Structure formats: C-alpha cells, structure tokens
Amino acid sequence: MKIEKVKIAIIGQGYVGLPLAIEFGKKYPTIGFDINNNRIEDLKNYIDHTNEASQEQLRSAGQLSFSSDINDIISCNVYIVTVPTPIDEYKTPDLKPLEMASKMIGGILKKEDVVIYESTVFPGCTEEICVPLLESSSGLVFNEDFFCGYSPERIVPGDKVNTLTTIIKVTSGSTSQVADFVDDLYNSIIKVGTYKAANMKVAEASKAIENAQRDLNISFVNELALIFDRVGIDTQDVLDAAGTKWNFLKYKPGLVGGHCISVDPYYLAYKAENLGYHPEVILSGRRVNDNMSAFVANKMIKMLIKAGKQIKGSKVLILGITFKENCPDIRNSKVAIVYDELKEFGLIVDVYDYKANSIEVKQEFGFNLIDEIKEKYDGILLAVAHNKFSMIDIQSLKKDSESIIFDLKGFLPRNQVTSRL
C-alpha cells in the first residue's frame, strides 16, 4: 500500500486517539471512531472535554471526520487501535476493550488492510491475542491477506510541551515491508522522527518497560519517604541535598495513579509469570506505590491527633482528585483511596478540584466534589499540584491556629505547611 492511498480509522477517541486523529487528519482522509456517541457528537461540535485539543486544533484537521457508526469506517484501509488496556480487580490485564475492537475490525477487514495497535500490552499480545481474533472474524489469513503493526503510544495527558509530534515514535510491522510502511506513515506526521523496532514484540516490550522503570524509580523515593518519616526528617530536604550531584535522578515521592505507570508493570509481570518467572523487583515497586495511599491517610490522622484535634467529626479538605496536575483525567486516581481511608476514621471530607468532571467523579468514586470552598477546615491535604491552587490563600482555610496543612507535592511555600510527603 502506498501512503498516498491510505484512508485511516482511529479506533478510540480518548487522550491518545484524538491527538492522533487530528495529526493524521491534516494529511490523510481520517475518521475518528468511538462507540461513545456522546463523545463523537461533542467532537463534531469541536468540544473536547479531555482538554487535549482546542477548537482551533480540531478545526485544523481538514480531512478529519468523526463517527460512532461502524459502516462509516468500512472503506478505510488502515485501522489504528487506541482503546484502553486496564487491569481488573485481581491486577491482571483486562483485554476486553482490545478484544472487542479486534473482533469489530475483523468483521469489516479486507485484503491488503493494515491494523496498527497503539494500546499498551505485554510483549506478544498483538500476535497471540489480537491476530487470531482478526483472522476468525474476517476469514482472512494474517500476513497473506492482511497485516499488522504496533506503535506504542507515548502521549502524556496534560503535557502541552511534549506532544504527539515532538516525541520520537517507536514503530514496527508484521513483515519487513509492513514495518517500512508503518514507519513511513508515522514519519509523515512526527516532527522529530521515528524509531523502527526489530519486531512487534520488541516494540510492545519497549512501552511496558518505559512505565515500569518510572514506577520503580518513584517506588524508591516513596520508600525513602516512609523511612525518613520515621527518622523525623523531611524527604524533600534530603532529595534537594542529594540532587546537587549531577547524576542523581530527581524523582519525588507521591501517589502513583493513572492509566499507565500504575497499570503497565502488571502487564509485564503477567507475561513473565506465564513464562514461569516471578518478577521480584517490578512487583515490589508496585507494592510500595500501592501502599502510599494508606500511608498518607494514616499520617494525616497522626498529624491531626498531634495537633489536638478530635478525629471523629473533624473537617478535612482534599485539594485535587485527578491522577496528575493540570489534567482532568481521574482514571485510577489514588487520591480516592485516601478519601475513603479518611472517611473510615470518621472525618468529614470535602474534595475540591476545578479540573475534574464532577459527574465522572461521582460515577467512578461515589462522592461529590464541592463547587467552591466555603468552609474552614481542621486539616487540608494538597494532593494534586494544579497551577491555580497556588492562587488559594491556604492559611485562610484553616479553622484555627492548630489546623494542619499536609502537602504531598512540595507545591506550597514551605513556611505555610505543617508537613510534606
């Protein structure tokens, strides 16, 4: 297939799929497809509630259209899959969205079509899970009638500097010729170029270890925070001192949520365990990071007790519910676990976050956000470092001089907080 002849369907119009659809839609006939009809109707009206794309960006893609009707993408010859790949309650890969997308595409797949996966998976998933579904649904033969590629997404939600076109794109294909085609296709929209991996398994593994590495580095400083809390020294002070050496990695402690860092290591661990190897380091990092919510809640309680506050009935304000700063994404937010822990102690807890969608928060976590801060509080927990939180007069929110302020992000002026993580 020649690039000039492509007609692209991007399956999934979330944080990854939409920016991809916009860039491809500037150069090629492109359809952004999603099963969520409300999402599609919003995008048709140039509205993006994820805040990843402005109206101007949506309008700039002259060859882009949106649809939730599968009949509209039958004429496409390149399908790019960007659906979520979460974990289930047992922390094992939940491949249902990926499997559903593969079956759906298989039902309309034609000879010479190319299916490219971007969803984060374990090494071998495309060929072991997705390809058989494409074959069974289409009746076509892999690498004879149709072909596949894998190009892991690297988009960081909320990051307006490191965007799709300014991050090197890893590419791969199921044959050498298809690998060249996939690489050329992405190279036509990525300003900084691409990196063609040896094969699809290598490309899949590269994405998995990117996030596993970051998870492990954060787990190390989180464990340091647990230790230094017992020593009675400020972790940020220690990191600032150590950071004066040029080769010290300046990671900070915190809650590790979201759809990538707190999820992808389990995909790698799942594959390893299926091959008879129990990954000690990867899972130990996950245990440390998963336990940080309980540590934060317990530290908050201890600080309130030390300040002479009666726990039951005391009022606490949590600033931020999203999984990271300056982003409306609440997926897998660990702040919600802190909220639940504090409620179990009998505290009255308000959560304020101007970035998050209150309806989504209610559906996902079961509590309501407050629209504005009107009360005074016994304790204030800054959980997310949204820019506009710096404009809040944090001292004015304290009920009295004994009220405590716990800053998880090292965001507030040091002289205004009781403690930092």
Which residues fall within 8 angstroms of residue 84, CB to CB, at 6 or more apart?
Answer: 12, 14, 97, 119, 259
Return the closest-CA partner of residue 333 out of 362, 364, 298, 358.
Answer: 364
120 and 264: one domain?
no
Q: What is the mean pLDDT of residues 168-172?
A: 97
Poorest-pLDDT segment among 20-29, 74-83, 173-182, 252-261: 252-261
Query: Is 323 in a helix, a strand, or coil?
Result: coil
Pair 107, 71: CB distance under 8 Å: no
Q: What is the mean pLDDT of residues 308-318?
A: 95
Residues shown for the chain: 421
Chain-wide mean pLDDT for the chain? 95
**One-letter amino acid of 156:** V
Question: pLDDT tens-digit profile of 88-118?
Answer: 989 999 999 999 999 999 999 999 999 999 9
Please give the backbone phi and psi of residue 127, each rounded to the nearest 5 degrees, phi first.
-80, -30
Domain with residue 116: its CATH number is 3.40.50.720
Which residues fall within 8 angstroms of residue 319, CB to CB, at 6 or more apart?
Answer: 352, 353, 380, 381, 382, 383, 384, 386, 389, 392
Pair 288, 219: CB distance under 8 Å: yes
Question: pLDDT tens-digit profile of 33-45?
Answer: 999 999 999 999 9
Residue 240 lies in a domain: yes
C-alpha–C-alpha distance, residues 311 and 356, integer Å: 28
56 and 171: one domain?
yes
Return the closest-CA partner of residue 211 out of 325, 85, 124.
Answer: 85
**pLDDT score at 374:** 93
Q: What is the mean pLDDT of residues 9-27?
A: 96
19 and 127: one domain?
yes
Question: pLDDT tens-digit profile of 232-279?
Answer: 999 999 999 999 999 999 999 999 988 888 899 999 999 999 999 999
Question: pLDDT tens-digit profile of 337-354?
Answer: 999 999 999 999 999 999
52 and 174: one domain?
yes
**Residue where a domain stops, chosen among 174, 207, 240:** 207
180 and 59: one domain?
yes
Beta-strand runs (E) in 245-391: 315-319, 348-352, 379-382
Reply yes or no on whether the pLDDT at 134 is more than 90.
yes
Looking at residue 130, the DSSP 8-state letter turns out to be I
120 and 248: one domain?
no
> How many beta carbons lie within 10 A of that of residue 405, not counting itself?
22
Reply yes or no on whether the pLDDT at 159 is more than 80.
no
- % of residues, the chain, pLDDT over 90: 92
**pLDDT score at 68:** 97
Question: pLDDT tens-digit profile of 280-307?
Answer: 999 999 999 999 999 999 999 999 999 9
299 and 353: one domain?
yes
C-alpha–C-alpha distance, residues 361 and 228, integer Å: 33
C-alpha–C-alpha distance, residues 182 and 194, integer Å: 10
**pLDDT score at 270:** 95
**pLDDT score at 306:** 96
- 218 φψ region: left (φ > 0), alpha (ψ -120 to 50), beta (else): alpha
C-alpha–C-alpha distance, residues 378 and 174, integer Å: 59
Q: What is the mean pLDDT of residues 401-407?
A: 96
C-alpha–C-alpha distance, residues 151 and 197, integer Å: 9
**pLDDT score at 136:** 97
H-assigned helices in 64-199: 96-106, 125, 131-138, 176-187
124 and 172: one domain?
yes
**pLDDT score at 209:** 94
348 and 290: one domain?
yes
203 and 245: one domain?
no
Q: For the chain, how many structural domains are there in total?
A: 2
Q: Write the DSSP assignment of 141-196 as a string of letters.
A: -BTTTBEEEE------TT-SSS-GGGSPEEE-BSSHHHHHHHHHHHHTT-TT-EEE
**pLDDT score at 418:** 95
267 and 169: one domain?
no
H-assigned helices in 291-334: 292-306
Q: What is the mean pLDDT of residues 391-415?
A: 94
Compare 1 and 308 and report the one with higher pLDDT. Answer: 308
Which residues fall within 8 angstroms of residue 6, CB to CB, at 6 or more apart?
Answer: 28, 29, 77, 78, 185
Q: Residue with structure tokens 């996950």?
A: 286
Which tokens is 209 given? 């270890």
**One-letter amino acid of 287:** R
Catalytic residues: 260
C-alpha–C-alpha distance, residues 267 and 85, integer Å: 9
Residue-number span of the structural domain to which 128 is assigned: 3-207
Residue 264 to residues 119, 205, 275, Cα–Cα distance (Å)? 11, 10, 17
Residue 226 lies in a domain: no
288 and 198: one domain?
no
Pair 353, 369: CB distance under 8 Å: yes
How far the first Cα of the chain sits from its last, in Å, is: 54
Which tokens is 378 given? 């016994």
Residue 357 to residues 44, 342, 363, Cα–Cα distance (Å)? 20, 22, 10
Question: pLDDT tens-digit profile of 353-375?
Answer: 999 999 999 999 999 999 999 99
pTM of the complete model? 0.92
Q: Which pLDDT band, with edges at 50, 70 and 90, does 158 fall under? A: confident
